[in-house]
Amino acid sequence: MNEHQALTDFIEYSPQDMLSRAEANYHEVKRRHSIRQFSSRPVDRAIIEQCLLAAGTAPNGANHQPWHFVAIESDEIKLQIRAQAEAIESAFYEGRGGEEWLSALKPLGTNASKPYLSEAPWLIAVFSQKRGGQHEDGHTQNYYVHESVGIATGFLIQALHHAGLATLTHTPKPMSFLTDICGRDADNERPYILIVAGYPRADATVPEHAKYKKPIEQLVSFL
């Protein structure tokens, strides 16, 4: 199959409109912050579904779409995840993380306690797939798996933010317990990231350290 179709959904904007769209987008994404205090206010599944559909449009190696998302709203499963994550993180913060990593985390004020894992309305476990192709046939090789899943996760975070939700990217190390809890195939899939999504609590805070973003001179070289 090597058929191509005309590109019919590209929209051209004037250069002025492009600049104002680019500025508006920057202002919108600048308001995204990882937060660690979530309200338990519910969020409709339909909203989460649309954000996941957006994530599934991400560019990826050979369009094999080497990802699977497990969207969790079950209180029981969230509690299981919290218990496992807190046990792992206790070991990490008690020294397994190593001095350098632990001191890099100090300004964020994070610790082994993760109440948001059971309090937030949604946890989304992102899995990467080594094999399977578009139809998850179990044998077709996937390509650029890590890069592809990273981009899809970025799309997901952006979609959730755009919809009006706050998020946290959470990566307990190791994360293999997510494979069991989510009932995924440990031979072919790896847990990639856990996204916490919901409304921020009224007293939610943002670490000063996280608000610093590199200025344009440091961020970019134009050649």
Interacting residue ranges for ligand FMN, rule: CB under 6 A: 33-34, 36, 108, 110, 168-171, 193, 210
Whether residue 42 has a cis bond before it, omega within 30° of 0: no
Residue closer to ligand FMN (CB basis): 77 or 108: 108
Residues β-bridged to residue 46: none
Q: Which is nearer to ligand FMN, 22 or 210 (CB)?
A: 210
Whole-angstrom distance, CA of residue 35 vs CA of residue 102: 19
Query: Residue 90 has what DSSP assignment?
Result: H
Structure tokens at 156: 């997901």
Q: Any residues with CB less than 8 A from the CB of 164 and at least 6 apart, and which?
A: none
User: Which residue number, 137 or 203, has a Cβ lying nearer to ligand FMN?
Assistant: 203
**3-class SS of residue 152:** helix
d(CA 117, CA 100): 26
Q: Between residues 54 and 204, which has the closer beta carbon with respect to ligand FMN?
A: 204
In the complex, minimum distance from the CB of residue 55 to ligand FMN, in angstroms, rounded to a whole number: 15
For the bound state, the minimum distance from the C-beta of residue 154 to ligand FMN, rounded and expressed in Å, comes to 9
Shortest distance (Å) from residue 45 CB to ligand FMN: 25
Q: In 133-148, which positions are buried (b, 16+ CB within 10 angstroms) versus exposed (e)?
A: beeeeeeeebeebeeb
Q: How far is the CB of 106 from ligand FMN (least distance, A)?
A: 12
The first and second tokens of residue 199, run together, are: 């409304």
Output 81 or 133, the one with its CB closest to ligand FMN: 81
In this complex, which beta carbon is closest to ligand FMN, that of residue 51 or of residue 132? Answer: 51
**Least distance in angstroms from the C-beta of 16 to ligand FMN:** 29
Work out how close the CB of 33 gets to ligand FMN at its nearest, in angstroms, rounded to a whole number: 4
Query: Residues 45, 73: contact at Cβ < 8 Å?
Result: yes
How far apart CA 181 and CA 125 sit, in angstroms, is 10
Question: Taking the complex as a whole, how short is the minimal distance between the CB of residue 133 and ligand FMN, in angstroms?
Answer: 26
For ligand FMN, which is the closer residue by CB, 33 or 131? 33
**Spatial separation of the C-alpha atoms in residues 192 and 199, rounded to whole Å:** 23
